[in-house]
């Protein structure tokens, strides 16, 4: 199969997965489960590429395992946090805007197919790494990429863990977490997410045409900064946490930096 055919096959796998998740969302009237399925979709896609390609075994196993660790951790974390709770306010607002009678089918395109399409473009470095037969064996770029990914994993998982512990204390309600990783960046989990995908891109750089997959991590970083991550969350935090403006003034938004205050 050509790389484009493998990409289309991966798109087909994601289409089936997103359709199943959409049907579940219709049954339970909760589009928010797409957030839980987001990471798992990358896992399914990575293993589809692993099965459909004949690339260097070590490299494609490396990117598949790294993608699986990222995706499953995110899925389990969001599942524990969100399952059993009401639909996310974003989707509630969409439901009101489009109307209850029509949003059930509009959500298929507006949420599930949109995110499925984003998946197959973000994951192109995984495809490039899995497809290439040369170079044989792991290179220095593969090792550097894995180390960069590990740094990102530490920021994302560590940031989420620190935030979960902070929120578990009722005395912290309405307060802003300003210690640990959160002392150096207002969004260590989003920063770590982006770093992991740039790490996978570095692995792709070890292959002949892997550099062309740069738009994958670039798209993920853009989404985290401007669409569903930093920008969206901060609009909410400024309204609900009185101390957030001071925290914002003193702390880097994304890239970890020493506090200004």
Q: Does 183 lie in the same domain as 105?
A: no
Q: In Å, how far are 8, 54, 116, 138, 260 from 200, measured between CA atoms?
A: 21, 19, 19, 13, 32
**pLDDT tens-digit readout, 103-144:** 999 999 999 999 999 999 999 999 999 999 999 999 999 999
30 band by pLDDT with thresholds 50, 70 and 90: very high
**Contact present, 179 and 128 (Cβ < 8 Å):** no
User: What pLDDT score was predicted for residue 200?
Assistant: 98
Q: Does 143 lie in the same domain as 116?
A: no
User: What pLDDT score was predicted for residue 237?
Assistant: 85
Burial class (CB in 10 A: 0-12, 13-18, 19+), 208: exposed
Q: Which two tokens stand for residue 74?
A: 């995110």
Q: How many folded domains does the chain comprise?
A: 2
Q: Which two tokens stand for residue 250?
A: 């003193």
User: What pLDDT score was predicted for residue 238?
Assistant: 79
Q: Does 244 lie in the same domain as 149?
A: yes
Outline where 53-138 has alpha helix (H).
Answer: 57-82, 89-98, 100-107, 114-122, 124-131
**Contact present, 247 and 176 (Cβ < 8 Å):** yes
Q: Which range marks the domain in which residue 180 is found?
A: 138-261
User: End of a domain among 133, 160, 187?
Assistant: 133
Q: Which two tokens stand for residue 214?
A: 């740069």
> Could you tell me which residue, 160 or 228, shows the higher pLDDT?
160
Q: Does 189 lie in the same domain as 79?
A: no
User: End of a domain among 80, 115, 133?
Assistant: 133
Q: Does 126 lie in the same domain as 144?
A: no
Average pLDDT, the chain: 95
What's the maximum distance between 2 C-alpha atoms anywhere in the chain?
Answer: 58
User: What pLDDT score was predicted for residue 126?
Assistant: 98
Q: Does 233 lie in the same domain as 156?
A: yes
Q: Does 259 lie in the same domain as 215?
A: yes
Q: Does 113 lie in the same domain as 216?
A: no
Q: Residue 189 above 90 pLDDT?
A: yes
Q: Does 93 lie in the same domain as 79?
A: yes
Name the region of 179 (left: φ>0; alpha: ψ -120 to 50; beta: rest). beta
Supply the pTM of this predicted model.
0.94
Distance (Å, rounded) from C-alpha 27 to C-alpha 219? 31
User: End of a domain among 90, 115, 133?
Assistant: 133
Q: What percent of the chain has pLDDT over 70?
A: 100
Q: Does 207 lie in the same domain as 104?
A: no
Q: What percent of the chain has pLDDT over 90?
A: 82
Q: Residue 229 above 90 pLDDT?
A: no
User: What pLDDT score was predicted for residue 240?
Assistant: 81
**pLDDT tens-digit readout, 62-71:** 999 999 999 9
- Looking up tokens 């530490």 gives 154
Q: Does 217 lie in the same domain as 157?
A: yes
Across 88-95, average pLDDT: 89
222 band by pLDDT with thresholds 50, 70 and 90: very high
Q: Does 58 lie in the same domain as 103?
A: yes
Q: Residue 174 above 90 pLDDT?
A: no
Distance (Å, rounded) from C-alpha 249 to C-alpha 261? 8
């Amino acid at each position: 199969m050509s790389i484009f055919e493998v990409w289309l096959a991966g798109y087909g796998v994601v289409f089936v997965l997103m359709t199943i998740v959409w049907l579940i969302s219709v049954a339970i009237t909760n589009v928010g489960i797409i957030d839980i399925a987001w990471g798992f979709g990358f896992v399914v896609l990575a293993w589809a590429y692993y099965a459909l390609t004949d690339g260097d075994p070590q490299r494609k196993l490396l990117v598949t395992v790294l993608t699986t660790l990222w995706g499953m951790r995110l899925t389990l974390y969001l599942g524990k946090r969100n399952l059993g709770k009401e639909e996310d306010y974003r989707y509630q607002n969409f439901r009101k805007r489009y109307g209850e009678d029509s949003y059930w089918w509009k959500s298929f395109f507006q949420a599930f197919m949109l995110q499925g399409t984003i998946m197959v473009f973000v994951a192109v470095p995984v495809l490039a790494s899995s497809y290439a037969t040369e170079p044989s064996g792991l290179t220095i770029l593969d090792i550097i990429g894995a180390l960069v990914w590990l740094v990102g994993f530490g920021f994302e998982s560590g940031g989420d863990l620190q935030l979960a512990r902070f929120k578990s204390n009722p005395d912290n309600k309405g307060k802003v977490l300003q210690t640990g990783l959160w002392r150096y960046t207002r969004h260590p989990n989003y920063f770590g997410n982006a770093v992991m995908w740039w790490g996978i891109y570095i692995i792709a750089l070890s292959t002949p045409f892997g550099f062309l997959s740069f738009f994958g991590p670039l798209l993920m970083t853009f989404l985290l900064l401007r669409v569903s991550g930093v920008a969206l969350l901060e609009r909410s935090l400024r309204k609900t946490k009185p101390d957030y403006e001071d925290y914002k003034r003193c702390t880097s938004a994304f890239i970890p930096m020493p506090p200004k205050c």
